């Protein structure tokens, strides 16, 4: 639910990083936080457990500047990936404008990816949203590891509609900005 | 927004004046420091009162999360919702109230006033705000909001390319 405030001339868009536990959602946000100019981003808020597993969400606001008179911002959120935290995961999807699914490319995580994707569809449906109608991209993360599934196989299981997908190594930043740019542009197009 | 996605909403200067007047009255009558309106998705709609010296975007996202988590707790114990929350600090406290299930009114106050007074005055403000936002959301369903200027998408895409790079 992008909010366009014609009084203060602001547009805020919400982008949610979704996916299985330990897939690299928080690492994506941390990389973005480190690399964008400090004056264009706010604080990175992480509600995490003592072992740095996301408990509720991470949040990073990024300011695109003033476009045609409108101060335009993206609010980036991650959800907790662990199956156990579904109640809080669903809350973060409320009012989402764009979704990034961060998949874990390792062969043994295929089932976890599939389960997380089903969960994404289900949680969106409970708000009356249809993922096929929302700006959506996929990142296949951890491509640097030795035991990864081929992208074609991942596409077959996770990407039947062939939305844009990117190979990533979030720890070193590979694919992180490509993914973000793609979803951000889709969200902007949906406003225009 | 495409059908099937989340609906957008917008409000203009006259809505803004009406809302800020309600919030200003609330602060005057309750002697509270500051009032913020946050939507349920975590976006700050407006603030009135003392200048905030904290990250308001982070504050808004945490407020929405706080309220949503408490809604879930309410349903677990058989309540429909908690329509207000109160967080007490040593010097500063905050009171949060639901506005028409779409927004959250947050009032920050110090020991210059009392919880009882803030609570009473917030109730009046919530009634006024609910009415104002019924009009905003009613209008959003009836008609498209003002259209973004031509060229907005192209310019935003260029900015995205400039900002999101190594």
Q: Which residue of A has its CA nearest to B20?
A: A7
CB contact under 8 A, B163 and A36: yes
Q: What is the pLDDT of residue B141?
A: 63
Asked if B47 and B53 count as a contact pair (C-beta separation under 8 A), the reply is no
Between B1, B16, B163, which is nearest A64 by CB? B163
Q: A17 pairs with which residues across the strands?
A: A78, A100
As a whole number of angstroms, the distance between CA B119 and CA B110 comes to: 14
* A16, A66, A91, A130, best to mutate vs chain B, most B CBs in 10 Å: A91
As a whole number of angstroms, the distance between CA A12 and CA A192 comes to: 14
Task: Examine the pLDDT at A146 and tell me if it is beyond 80.
Answer: yes
pLDDT single digits (tens) A38-89 = 999 999 998 888 788 888 899 999 999 999 888 999 999 999 988 888 888 9
CB atoms within 10 A of CB A159: 19
Query: Which DSSP category does B20 fall into?
Result: H
CB contact under 8 A, B55 and A12: no
Residue A89 C-alpha, separation from nearest chain B C-alpha, in angstroms:
11
Q: Which pTM does this prediction carry?
A: 0.86
Q: What count of CB pairs under 8 Å joins A to B? A: 164
pLDDT in tens, chain B (166 residues): 444 555 566 777 788 889 999 999 999 999 999 999 998 888 888 999 998 888 888 899 899 989 888 988 898 999 998 999 999 999 999 999 999 888 999 999 999 999 999 999 999 999 999 999 888 877 766 655 556 777 899 999 999 999 998 7
The strands making up B44-49's β-sheet, listed across from edge to edge, are B44-49, B34-39, B103-109, B93-99, B84-88
Question: b/e string for A119-156 if b means 16 or more Cβ within 10 A?
Answer: bbeebbeeeebebeebbbbbbbbbbeeeebbeeeebbe
């Amino acid at each position: 639910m992008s909010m366009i405030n014609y009084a203060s001339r602001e547009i805020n868009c919400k982008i949610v990083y979704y996916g299985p536990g330990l897939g690299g959602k928080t690492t994506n946000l941390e990389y973005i936080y480190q690399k964008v100019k400090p004056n264009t981003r706010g604080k990175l808020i992480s509600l995490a457990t003592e072992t740095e597993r996301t408990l509720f969400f991470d949040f990073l606001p990024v300011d695109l500047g003033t476009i045609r008179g409108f101060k335009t911002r993206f609010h980036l959120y991650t959800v907790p990936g662990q199956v156990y935290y579904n109640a809080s995961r669903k809350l973060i999807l409320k009012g989402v404008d764009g979704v990034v699914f961060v998949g874990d490319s390792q062969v043994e995580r295929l089932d976890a990816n599939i389960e997380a994707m089903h969960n994404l569809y289900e949680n969106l449906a409970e708000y009356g949203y249809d993922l096929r109608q929302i700006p959506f991209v996929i990142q296949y993360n951890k491509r640097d590891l030795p035991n990864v599934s081929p992208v074609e196989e991942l596409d077959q299981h996770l990407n039947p509609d062939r939305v844009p997908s990117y190979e990533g190594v979030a720890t070193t930043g590979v694919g992180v900005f490509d993914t973000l740019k793609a979803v951000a542009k889709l969200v902007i197009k949906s406003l225009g | 927004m495409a059908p099937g996605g989340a609906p957008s909403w917008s409000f203009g200067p006259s809505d803004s004046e009406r809302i800020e007047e309600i919030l200003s009255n609330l602060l005057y009558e309750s002697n509270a420091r500051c009032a913020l309106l946050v939507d349920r998705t975590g976006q700050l709609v407006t603030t009135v009162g003392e200048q905030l010296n904290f990250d308001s975007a982070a504050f808004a996202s945490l407020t929405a999360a706080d309220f949503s988590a408490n809604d879930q707790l309410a349903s677990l114990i058989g309540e429909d919702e908690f329509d207000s929350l109160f967080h007490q600090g040593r010097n500063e406290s905050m009171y949060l109230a639901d506005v028409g299930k779409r927004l959250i009114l947050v009032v920050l106050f110090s020991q210059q006033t009392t919880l009882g007074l803030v609570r009473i005055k917030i109730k009046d403000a919530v009634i006024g705000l609910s009415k104002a936002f019924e009009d905003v959301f009613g209008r959003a369903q009836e008609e498209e909001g003002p259209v973004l200027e031509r060229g907005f998408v192209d310019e935003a895409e260029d900015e995205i390319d400039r900002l999101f790079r190594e």
